[in-house]
Structure 1
Amino acid sequence: ANISASANLSGCSFNWDNGLGAGNNHIVSPTNTTTYTVTATSLDGCDATTDVTVTVNPNPIVTATTNPTAICLGDDANISASANLSGCSFNWDNGLGAGNNHVVSPTNTTTYTVTATSLEGCETTSDVTVTVNPNPITTATANPTAICQGDDATLTASANLSGCSFNWDNGLGAGNNHIVSPANTTTYTVTATSVEGCESTANVSVTVNPNPIVTTTANPNPICLGDNVNLHASSNITASSFNWDNGLGAGSNHIVSPTNTTTYTVTVTSTNACETTADLTVIVNPNPTISINASANGVCEGDVVWFNVQSDIPGTTYLWNTGNNSNVVQYTMNTSAYYSVTGTSPSGCQETDSIYITVYPDPIVNINPIDTSLCPNESVDLTAITNAQQALFLWNNGSVNQTISVSPTQTSQYTVTVTDQHGCDASSISNVTMRLEPTIIFKPDIAILCDGDSVNINLMGAVDYLWSPSTGLSVDTGSFVVASPNTSISYQVYATDQFGCTTIDSIPVQVNPLPDVKFSADINTGCENTVVNFINESSGVNQYFYWDFGDPASGQNNTSTYPDPVHIYTSAGTYDVKLIVVSEHGCESDTMYPNFIEIYKNPIAMFTRTADMVNMDDPTVGVMNESIGAVSWEWDFGDPGSGNNNYCVNMDYVYHTYSEVGNYFIKLRAISEHGCIDTTENHVVVLDTWNFYVPNAFSPNGDGINDKFYGIGTNIDETAYRMEIYDRWGKKVFETTDYKESWDGKVQVKDGEPQIGVYNYMISVRGMTGEERQYVGSVTLIQ
C-alpha cells in the first residue's frame, strides 16, 4: 500500500515509525493490519503527528477434491471445491466455469484448477487430478460352436489388458475357461474386469443340434417259433438314416424270423451327424408239445370216456373240437368219432393232437306191461323183452329171472337191466301205481251251527257216497247234503272212488245256542246333554256287541260296539234302544226296548241389563229375566262385598248397587219344571267417580314450570275430548281434540310469541260411563 504525509506549512519534514524513516511517501506491505505514525517538523522546529492504518485482508485457503480419484473410461467423477472463508466464489478451468461442484467424465487423466475469490477480492487456486483407467477389450470363443445334445463345448475368454479376471453367466462363475454341455442352443456372456476394476463384456453362442428321437416297433411281438416279425424304426428328424446290427444293415424296415429271443439295435443318424441308438427285443416263444390219454378206446353207447391232455409248457390252455376248454374232460359216447384238442401256451403258441373212440350200440329192452295200477292186495307179472344175445337180467328187487311177479303195498317202480356180450347194458322201467283208499274232503271240515240254522256240506275225493244216520239230512246219498240237526251230531260217509277203492270217514256237526240279550241303563230320564250309562246283562260268553241308541241326530255316536257304552242325548224326545249280541260261536241275537230313554228340553237362560258400565257416582245396574222354559231362576251379581244383596231368587226385574270399583259378572241360573238348568252371564264394569281440573293461569317463559295450559282428569274418555281457546275479542287462537295436546300460549300475531293477557276457554269432556261435561272459563297468561 502507498502511504503519504502532508502538512499545512511549507518546508515541513516527515519521519515515519515502523522502520520507515524520513520521507513523505512510502510503499508498505504489512502481513497484518498495521497503524503507521508520521511526525511532521516545521522549519521552526515545531512537531505534529498523525496516524494512518493499513488493513490487511487474508487470502482464502481453497481445497479441491474428486470422488472417485480414478475412474474407468466412460464413468463420471464428482469434483468439488471448498474454502476456509465464507462467501467465496469458485471458477474452474477446462471450460467448467463457475460453481463449487461439477460432474466430469474425461477421456484421459486430467488436472482441474479452481480459483477461489473472497468477498474482499482476495484469490487462491488449487488443483485436483482425475485419473482415467482404460476398459479392457474382451473376446469370447466356443470350441466347437455347434454340438449334439449331450456333447461338450469349451468356452474361452481373453482381454487386451493383463491381470484381468473373468466371470460367466448361466451359473458358470469365475475363470477364463469352462466346459459346458447345454441342453439347448445357449448364449453365454463373460465379463472381464481389469486390475483397476474396469469392465467389459463379450458373448458367445453354442448351438445345440437335437439328437434324433427313435421309435421302434416289432409287429407282432412276441412271436411263436417259426413266425415272422416286421421290425420298423422311425425318427422325429426328417432324412435321418438307419443302420441295424445282426447283419440287417441299412433301412428303416426289416422282416426277421429269429429262432430265439433276440435284441436288435438300430443306429439313427440325423443330417447334423447326431446319433441315437435304440434296442428292440423280439421275444420268441416255443410251441407246446401236447398228448391225449383216454380212459378207454372202445365203449358202449352212452358210456362216459375221460380224456386227459398234457403239455410240456405249464399254463397251457386247451380247446377241444367239442368246444370244451379243460385239460380233463368227459364225454358221453353215442357214436364212434375222433376227438381233437388244441393246446395254447401262455404266450399264445399252439399245437394239436387227436384220438379215435369206438362206440358199441346198447341192447334194446322193454317190460311188459310198461305201467299198471293196483288196488291194495292185488298183484301183477312183469316180463323183460330184449334183442340182446347171451343176455343177462337183473331186476331192482334182486331177481335175475326174465319174468317176476310183484304185489307192492305202495306205488313202486321196477327196473330190469340187460347186459350183452360187449358188456353193454340197457334198462327199462315199469311203474306200478298203488291206489290208496280214497281221501274224503269235507267242506266245511267241521260244521258249526247256531240253533235253528242249517249248513251245506260238500264232499270231494270219491264218486259214490252213502250217509248215516240220515237224521236232519236233506238226502242220504251224493256229494252234497243240507244238514239241519237240532243237537250236535256226527255223520258217517261210505265212499267209493273211480278205481273201486272204498273208505269210511265222518264229519261232526256242532249246534250252538243263541245268546239271551238283556240290558239296562243307570237313568231312563234326563235333560238335554244327559249322559246315560248302559249296562249289558246278556247271558253267555259273547264276543261282539252292537248298540243303536235311537238317536240318529248324533251321527256316528248313535252306535257303539262296547259292552257297556255311554251315550249323550243332546235333544229332547223319547228314544228306542236296541242291542245286538254275537256269542263266542258267532250266534247272533238282539232285543229292542221302545221309549227306553226320555229326555226333557233345557230352559234358555237370558236377561238384559240397564248398563254395562257405571261409576261410583251411581253404581246401580238393573237386570230383567227373559229366560224361556224356566219356572224358577237364581241371580248372582258377582259382588260378594254386597253381602246378602249379591243373590236373589225368582225375581224377574231387580236392581243391584255395587259396593266398589271393579269388573263383575252377573250370572242367571234358569230351572225348568223337570229340573233342567241353563246358565248365562254378562259383564259389568264399575268405574271410580270421574273428575276434571282446569288451571286459571300459566306462564310460558321456558322455565319448565307451568309452561303450558291444559286440563287434567280421571276416568276420562280420551276419544271424546275438545278444547278451544279465544282471545278477549272472541277470536279463536287454538283448538285441539287430542287429550294429550296442550296450548303453549302462542297466537298468530307478533311472530307467534306468547302474549300476556286473559283468554277464554271452552272444554268438552266425557267420562268412561258416557256422561258428558262442558267447562267454560278464563285463564291468565303471565310471564
Structure 2
Amino acid sequence: SEFSFIVSDDIGCTVIRSGTVECECLFSSAGEFTQATDTLNACIGENIEVIYDDSNEVLDPNDTRTFIIHDGDSNAIGNTLLVFSDISSGISFDPILNEDVVYWLTAVIANEDDNGIADLNDVCLSAASGIGIRFRSSPTASLSGSAAICAGEEAIFEIDLEGNGPWTVNVDLQGNPFAEYITDLSPLIVQTSQEGEYVVSSISDQYCNGVANGAVQVDIQALPSASISQGGEFCEGSGEGPLVEFTGDGPWELNYTVNGILDSIVIGNTPDVIPVFSGGTYSLVSVSDSNCDNDASGSVQVDMIPAPQAILTAGNPVCVGDSVPILIEFINGNFWSYSLSFDGSNSDTLTNSTGSTIIHASTSGSIELLYLENESCGAYEFPNTEIEIYELPSIEYSLSGDSICSGELVELTIESQGNIGLVEVELLINSDLQFISVSSEQWTASFFPEEDFNLTIGPVQDQITGCVDTTLIQFNVEVTEYPEVNPLDDHIVCSLDSTLLSTMAEEGVVYQWYAGGELLPSDNSSVSLSLENLTNESIEVDVLLVADRIGCITQELSHFIVDPLPEVLFSYNPQPVSAVNPVINLINLSAGSNTYLWTLDGDTLSNDISPSWLLEPDNPDEYIICLEATSSKAGCKNTFCMEVEILGDLSVYIPNSFSPNGDGLNDEFGPEILNADLRFYTFDIYDRGGSKVFSTNDVNEWWNGTEMNLGRESRSGLYNYVIVTRDKFRRDSKIFRGSITLIR
C-alpha cells in the first residue's frame, strides 16, 4: 500500500515523505487435521476420510491451499507424490503409492504457482501438521487340486494365505458352511473325511476383507474285497487253481498263504485263478486295488498232481561233418508225448514209454523241448541244452597284387577268423613248403620276385580242436620286367636349336618325353627337341624320358643348358633413302654379341659393326637387309631383317615458251615428269583473262596452241599453267604453277 506524511518543525520548516510498503505472509496458519489418531488407514478400494479445519485462515487473492501426500513426516515435507486441491470426498489409493506403507498428508498455503497449486518454494508458505495415511493390501486365499481317500481315511489339503495375519477363513462344503479357521500361519492345513467340493467362502485379515479363489474336490474310494472258492485237484504248473473274485478297481495284488507260507500274485481280471504249484490249504490274507488296501479271508483245499519233466544232456563236441548224441530222460509218468525245436526247426510229436531216448545233431545250436505231457498232465517247464559242433578253422588272407613289376614288393597277410585261436597253415611257394602258425593277429610275409611265381595256402588245422579245413587257395603272380632305356647325355644348346634324343625301342613299351614338365608331342623312342630361352641368362631345362611297360616304368633324366640368343636390332638413316643419292647408314642396336654379318638380299656385304653403303643411284627399289649376330658367351646366332625402300625423287621440267608454227620445233607445250604417280595428274592452261584454254589428264597430251587442241588458234602472249600430280614414292601431292609465252 502507498503512504504519505508531512513533518513541520517549530520554526515553520516542512518536509513531505511518501512511498509504498508491501506486507508479506498475511495468513497466520494452514489449518489443522482434527482426527484423534496419528495415522488414517483404509483398505485398497476404500477411501480415507479426512476431517480438516480451516476456520481461522485468511487468504489474500494470490494465495491458494494445496494438500500433498509425501514421504516425509508430520513436521517436514519429503518427496511430493500426490497433490490435491480438495479432499472433501476422501482420498483413494493411487498406484504410485506402495501398499502397507505410511505416507503423510499435509495442508500447505502459499502463493499460487503457474500450475494453480501452492508454490512449495514460497517464503510465505505455511504448512499444517501432517497426518499419516496408509492403504492396507487385501488378503487372498487360494486352493486347488483334488484328493481321493479310502473309506475311513482323512484327506489333507492346503489353503495359501496372503496379507496381514492373523486371518479369518471360512470354508464351505458343497455350498454349505463347513468350518471357520482363525490362523496366523500360511498355508492353512485342512483335514476332512467328508466327500465333496471345498471352497473358501470368505477371507479377512486384521484390517481388510479379501478375495478367495479355487476349489478342492475330495472323493472317497470304496475298499476292495476278495473271495476264494473251487478248491480240488489240479496239475502242477497247468495255470489252473482255486477261483478268486474281486471288487474295486483292478489290477489287484492278492496276498495269500499255502500251508501257512506267505505268497502273493497280481491279477488283472475278476474272476480269475491262483495257479497251483504245490498242494495244501490256500488262505487269503489281504487285497489291494489301484486305490485302497483291505483285509481278505477265506480258504480252500488244493491237491496237486506233479507235472511231467525231461532232462536233456548233450555229448562231447565234434567237428563239422560229425554228429553229437543227445540223451533225453523223462520223469513223472509212464507214457510221454513230446516235440523238440532245434535252431527254430520244430519236430513232429514223438512218444516214449521207456523213460529215455537218444537223438543226434550235426550242427551247432540250441535244442529245446517244446511240448511234453504224460497220461495225466502237461509240463510247464521246457528245458534246453546247447549242442556244440566245432567249426572248421577259417582264415582271412590277402595278397597285395597278382600282377607286379620285377623286384617289387608282394605282401601276403593271413589271420584266423571267428572265435578260432591259433591255427597251423601249410604254405607252398613254387616248390618250397612251409608250416606257419597264425592267430587272430595278422601274419605277414614280404616277397620281391624277379619272375612269375605260384602260391598255395592250405590245409588249415585248428591247434585247439584239431579240426582241419582241407580247402586249398592258389595264387598266380605275374611279374613284368621294367623297360630298358639308354642313358641320356646332358646338353648345352642355343635357344630354338633342334636336338634329337633317342633310346632303343622295345616292343610293348609306351614312350613319353617331357621338357620342363610339359609333355612333348611324341610317343616314340626318339624326339626332336627345340627349347626356347626368352631371357638374357642361361636356363636349365630337365628333359625326362618315361618308358612304360604295362605300368612298370623306367625313367631317364637329362639336363639341358639353354643359352639365350643375342638380341639383334638395327636401324638406318636417312629415312627415306633417296635414289638420287642412295647412301644408307646402318646403326647396330644389338646386345650380347661381338660378331656380325650384314647381307643385302642374301649377299654378304660387311662384318663391320655399323657400316654405310652406297646403292645404285637413280634406281628406286626395295631391299632386304639382314644382320646376323653371334653371342660372345655361347656362340649362339640370331638374325634380324628389315625391308628398306629406295625412293626416287619427283622431278618436272617445264619450258617457258613454245612456237606452234608447224616447223617441227617447239610446236607443243607440256611437262617432262619423272617419278610421278600418273594416276593422279591434271594439266590446265589459262589465258590472261582466266579462261581455260587447255585441260588434260594424259601426261602424253601436250598443248598445240589451239583452244582445247580443237583447231582455233590462240593468240600470241603470256598464259598461265597449273600441273597437279602425286609423288610416286612419297605419296604426297605436288602442284606446279607458272607462265608460258606463246610465240607465233
Q: Which TM-score applies when normalising by structure 1?
A: 0.37
Structure with bigger gyration radius: 1
Q: Which TM-score applies when normalising by structure 2?
A: 0.39
Work out which structure has the larger RCO, using CA pairs closer than 8 Å and 6 or more positions apart in sequence: 2
